[in-house]
């Protein structure tokens, strides 16, 4: 999967070494900055640094020198970055600069899980090309237990304060600050909310979204859950509610878990700070902790998802996040076969493209196969019973590693309600498939390990028929 032959065209992957969580996503001076968990000389997650890449268009990335390296405080785990526009910290002169908040992780046998985690700060005066660690780190000390990491820092306009969201065991803890250096604990969220496993919560994100078609807004809290023993592995959940600058109030039932992705491979999702136009722009690690260290690799291991926009939409079940791909795909990336709109497909015909969007009607009791190029059997099978749309997600691999096969191969279902036509938007790349159904309300992100790494999705009825109402061959921003 991670040989040079299989290197993705449109997804970011490091030149060499191991990569996992995106962190420190920030837009500054015409560049999108992508920092990431990085082990430059290892393929299984050795000593973790902050890798660094920049892009002007979210499609073409330039990998820069390592931003943060381990020191006596420990490894450099995940976190966030912001622009200090007003020199709040006093680190800068008349020009704004970049701040990076990260977790220092080191062994500590006296702690419950054998390590200690503290929150630290670094700053850059040269557009992120070099970094200075704050001399008085840590800025938030350990509360006395091991799992305490991944600081997400935002500005809360209504109370004129900086907020830090921290993953603390199986909760998210909120802190406030006036100067980005001195932090005060405010509240904890999550002990009896959402989905819990035997693994601690990770990689929080906190932001406000306007409700589409309304003047109202809500706050979204995103939380990752790592490699639990249950079959699904790592996944990302989110909460919809309100944040008053001190505490987060969930507006859904406390035991309701909302998944950001129904596939197996969208984790550690983070959004860009300071993004132009105020759009909420996210990125995730396209992998799963159940098998991440066993994905076939030679020179590098790990890739990011395609960046996406988030919106908030009203549904019969309540307010839900919807997603859309935001990168402009080149016109030579592959388009539809020569099909017109308003045609009927049956079992003898199909339509496909590397990336695109379809709006189609599917008859009740029909079956439709979606096949990723290079696989021998359908990867997804759609069926309809009234308003209920079932997506059977199948995945196999050509890898000869028995332990990888055991965790990677699967057959399960995602179900959503859609009264009318079905929209489907997708991006394929070497060994990956990302799908959005129902105007982005349902997301399915998958690694696809084949012996012929393809970039093509074929749509073909198995029984019954589908009517193609609209097609678009290239994604546009």
Whether 183 and 175 have beta carbons less than 8 Å apart is answered as yes
Catalytic residue among 21, 369, 379, 438: 21
* 21 belongs to the catalytic site: yes
Distance CA 475, CA 121 (A): 38
**Residues annotated as catalytic (active site), given as ranges:** 21
């Amino acid at each position: 999967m991670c040989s040079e032959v299989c290197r993705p065209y449109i997804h970011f992957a490091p030149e060499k070494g191991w990569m996992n969580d995106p962190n420190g996503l920030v837009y500054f001076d015409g560049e999108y900055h992508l920092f990431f968990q990085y082990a430059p000389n290892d393929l299984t997650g050795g000593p973790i640094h902050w890798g660094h890449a920049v892009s002007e268009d979210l499609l073409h990335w330039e990998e820069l020198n390592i931003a943060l390296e381990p020191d006596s405080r420990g490894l450099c785990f995940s976190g966030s970055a912001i622009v200090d526009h007003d020199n709040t910290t006093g680190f800068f002169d008349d020009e704004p600069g970049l701040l990076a908040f990260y977790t220092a992780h080191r062994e500590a046998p006296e702690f419950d899980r054998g390590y200690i985690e503290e929150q630290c700060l670094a700053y850059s005066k040269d557009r992120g090309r070099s970094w200075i660690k704050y001399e008085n780190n840590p800025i938030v000390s350990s509360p006395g237990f091991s799992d305490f990491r991944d600081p997400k820092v935002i500005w809360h306009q209504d109370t004129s304060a900086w907020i830090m969201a921290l993953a603390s065991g199986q909760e998210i803890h909120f802190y406030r600050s006036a100067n980005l250096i001195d932090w005060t604990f405010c509240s904890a969220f999550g002990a009896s909310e959402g989905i819990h496993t035997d693994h601690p919560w990770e990689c929080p994100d906190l932001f406000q979204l306007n409700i589409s078609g309304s003047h109202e807004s809500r706050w979204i809290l995103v939380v990752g859950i790592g490699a639990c023993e249950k079959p699904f592995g790592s996944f990302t959940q989110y909460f919809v509610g309100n944040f008053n600058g001190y505490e987060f109030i969930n507006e859904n039932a406390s035991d309701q878990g909302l998944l950001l992705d129904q596939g197996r491979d969208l984790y550690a999702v983070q959004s860009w700070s300071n993004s132009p136009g105020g759009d909420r722009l996210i990125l995730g690690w396209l992998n799963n902790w159940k098998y991440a260290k066993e994905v076939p690799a030679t020179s590098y291991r790990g890739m990011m998802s395609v960046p996406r926009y988030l919106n908030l939409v009203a549904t019969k079940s309540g307010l839900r996040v919807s997603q859309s791909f935001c990168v402009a795909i080149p016109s030579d990336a592959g388009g539809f076969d020569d099909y017109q709109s308003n045609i009927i497909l049956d079992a003898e015909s199909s339509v496909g493209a590397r990336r695109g969007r379809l709006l189609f009607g599917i008859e009740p009791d029909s079956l439709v196969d979606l096949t990723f190029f290079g696989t021998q059997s359908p990867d997804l099978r759609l069926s309809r019973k009234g308003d209920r749309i079932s997506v059977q997600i199948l995945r196999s691999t050509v890898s000869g590693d028995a332990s990888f096969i055991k965790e990677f191969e699967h057959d399960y279902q995602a179900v959503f309600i859609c009264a009318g036509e079905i929209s489907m938007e997708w991006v394929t790349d070497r060994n990956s498939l990302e799908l959005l159904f129902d105007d982005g309300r349902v997301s399915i992100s998958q690694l696809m390990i084949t012996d012929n790494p393809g970039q093509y999705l074929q749509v073909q009825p198995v029984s019954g028929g589908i009517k193609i109402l609209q097609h678009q061959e290239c994604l546009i921003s």
